[in-house]
Structure 1
């Protein structure tokens, strides 16, 4: 199987937390690559825009009726999204450093990682049927 096909299959089988973690990883990597570049550099503005889009999408999802997250968590995510938007404008103008955006994203990634660990720990352990094959990774 080609690498592209494997990546497509992997993305199709990941949980929503894994998808969110992957997105935060990609966006945060772009922010880190933009750190230290001139404020007018296209990479800075592309990374800031992508980060804003991510946070805006999260806020929109939290505002939708039927979202299963606790109300207080949803409110916190919406508040963070508003802050990210305002702070990103300050970064784009050269008034603030991009590092705070990187730090916020890393904190969210830590929470998503801990959530994934809890889900693995709480999941019932099932023993797959033996096929007689010994597959090792």
Structure 2
């Protein structure tokens, strides 16, 4: 079986929660890598920040859908986090902030998705 076929089969067997956890893990690893590269490596840094912003933007869009079954306060908190992620990402690119807060937020979300204390991404 090819690697791609295995990945496809594994993805189909995941619950939505597991898929979200996996995606957050991938994005968080990209942020951690971007934090470790030379600041002049703007392509790596922009790619990781953009991926993280797109993830959070998709979550905010889903939370703004009136058909979303999550409790309204939780939906509002996710939307607020998404707005913070966007502002903080811009500050990281300007050299005013570090990646640390973005990584910490994603790790906390991963812990919630895991339902128990999760290990580091």
Does residue 16 of structure 1 match 2:10?
A: no
Identify unmatched segments of 5+ residues in structure 2. 117-121
* Aligned-residue CA RMSD (Å): 1.2
Equivalent position of 1:90 in the other structure? 91
Identify unmatched segments of 5+ residues in structure 1. 116-137
Work out the number of aligned pairs and report it: 115
Q: What's the TM-score once normalised by structure 1's chain length?
A: 0.80
- Structure 1 or 2, whichever has the larger Rg, is 1
Matched position secondary structure for 1:103? helix
Q: Is the 8 A contact 1:55 1:84 kept in 2?
A: yes
Instruction: Give, in angstroms, the shift of residue 13 of structure 1.
Output: 1.9
1:43-100 residue CA offsets vs partner (Å, 9 max, x unmatched):
0010000000000000000001110111110000000000000000000000000111
Q: Superposition pairs for residues 67-82 of structure 1, below 5 Å? A: 67-82=68-83
Spell out structure 1 runs of 4+ moving beyond 6 A.
none
Distance in 2, matches of 1:97 and 1:57, equals 23
Distance in 1, matches of 2:80 and 2:39, equals 25
Q: What's the TM-score once normalised by structure 2's chain length?
A: 0.90
